[in-house]
Amino acid sequence: MDSATIIEIIGYIGSALVLVSMLMTSVVRLRIINLVGSIIFAGYALAIRSYPTAIMNICLAGINVYHLFRIFKEQRAYTSIKTDRHDGYFSYLLKNYIDDINIWFPEFSLQNEDSDIAYLICCESNPACLFLGRKLQDGQIEVILDYATPAYRDTSVGSFLYKCLAKDGYRSLAFRQKADKHVPYLIKIGYKVSDDGSYVLSLSKTDRQS
């Protein structure tokens, strides 16, 4: 394979990554993938001496670095609202996000759930997390829904929510649904696999990862 073909392949990879980044629902993933794609495409543009294209992609990479820095450094001011599954605004949010919710929680249904715990987490009045649960014995909650809206898909909103639940007297969470896309988050936030195959999270500060 000659060098010209290799350079062309590199250009295709960079272009593909930039396009794929536009499909991401997570702002952080979008920025990271777009950053990598921009860097690769800038290298390709320099190799073929297309300097305007190179300058544009270098600028895009800089913009992505700037926004990622802000995302990771900013201290988000979350607020917790105890609510009810049938509260008007909460119900509206569930219906509004239901298509995306079912991507992450395929078993969740607006018609078939019997939650008795509901929390809405907001960030500067913007909805960041919708939480539904069912009370079990000994301060445990069975998680029905723990959905973060696209702009808040990092562990910060989850950590805030779990601190609120611990403050309200709950001791642990149990997640028993089949939700393959949600499992990496569960592991990252500190859930452990129990003997029955469910995922369990202790809400004590000593056991939970932040």
Which residue has 């395929």 as its token pair? 106
Buried b (16+ CB within 10 A) or exposed e, 44-79: bbebeebeebbeebbebbeebeebbeeeeeeeeebe
- Among residues 62, 147, 161, 51, which one has the least CA distance to residue 97? 147
Q: Among 114-118, 130-134, 151-155, 179-183, name the one with the lowest average pLDDT.
A: 151-155
Residue 87 and residue 179 share a domain: yes
Q: Dump pLDDT digits (tens) for 21-70.
A: 888 877 788 899 999 999 999 999 999 999 899 999 999 999 999 888 87
In a domain, 60, yes or no: yes
Residue 205 has pLDDT above 60, yes or no: no
Residue 99 and residue 28 share a domain: no
pLDDT at 91: 93
In a domain, 121, yes or no: yes
**Local structure of 121: helix, strand or coil:** strand
Give all strands of the β-sheet with 199-202 in edge-to-edge order: 78-82, 117-123, 126-135, 140-148, 172-175, 199-202, 192-193
pLDDT at 153: 79
Residue 53 and residue 7 share a domain: yes
Residue 67 and residue 104 share a domain: no
Residue 181 and residue 86 share a domain: yes
State the DSSP string of 157-191: HHHHHHHHHHHTT--EEEE-S--TTTHHHHHHHT-
For the entire predicted model, the pTM comes to 0.67
The predicted model gives 124-135 an average pLDDT of: 92
Q: Dump pLDDT digits (tens) for 166-189.
A: 999 999 999 999 999 999 999 988
In a domain, 48, yes or no: yes
Residue 152 and residue 120 share a domain: yes
pLDDT at 75: 63
Residue 128 and residue 56 share a domain: no
Q: Is 29 exposed, middle or buried (0-12, 13-18, 19+ CB in 10 A)?
A: middle
In a domain, 208, yes or no: no
Residue 85 and residue 189 share a domain: yes
Q: Is 191 exposed, middle or buried (0-12, 13-18, 19+ CB in 10 A)?
A: buried
Residue 68 and residue 110 share a domain: no
Of 32, 55, 73, the residue that ends a domain is: 73
The domain of 188 spans: 78-202
The predicted model gives 192-205 an average pLDDT of: 86
Beta-bridged to residue 132, according to DSSP, are 118, 145
Residue 117 and residue 95 share a domain: yes
Identity of the highest mean pLDDT range in 30-44, 67-81, 194-208 = 30-44
Report whether 108 contacts 102 (CB < 8 A). yes
In a domain, 191, yes or no: yes
Residue 126 and residue 171 share a domain: yes
In a domain, 63, yes or no: yes
Q: Which tops the pLDDT comparison, 121 or 153?
A: 121
Of 73, 98, 126, the residue that ends a domain is: 73
Which residue has 């600028």 as its token pair? 59
CATH number of the domain within which 176 lies: 3.40.630.30
The rounded mean pLDDT for the chain is 88
**Three-state helix/strand/coil letters over 58-100:** HHHHHHHHHHHHHHHHCCCCEEEEECCCCCHHHHHHHHHHHHH
In a domain, 24, yes or no: yes
The predicted model gives 75-101 an average pLDDT of: 90
Residue 45 and residue 64 share a domain: yes
Of 41, 73, 105, the residue that ends a domain is: 73
The predicted model gives 103-131 an average pLDDT of: 90
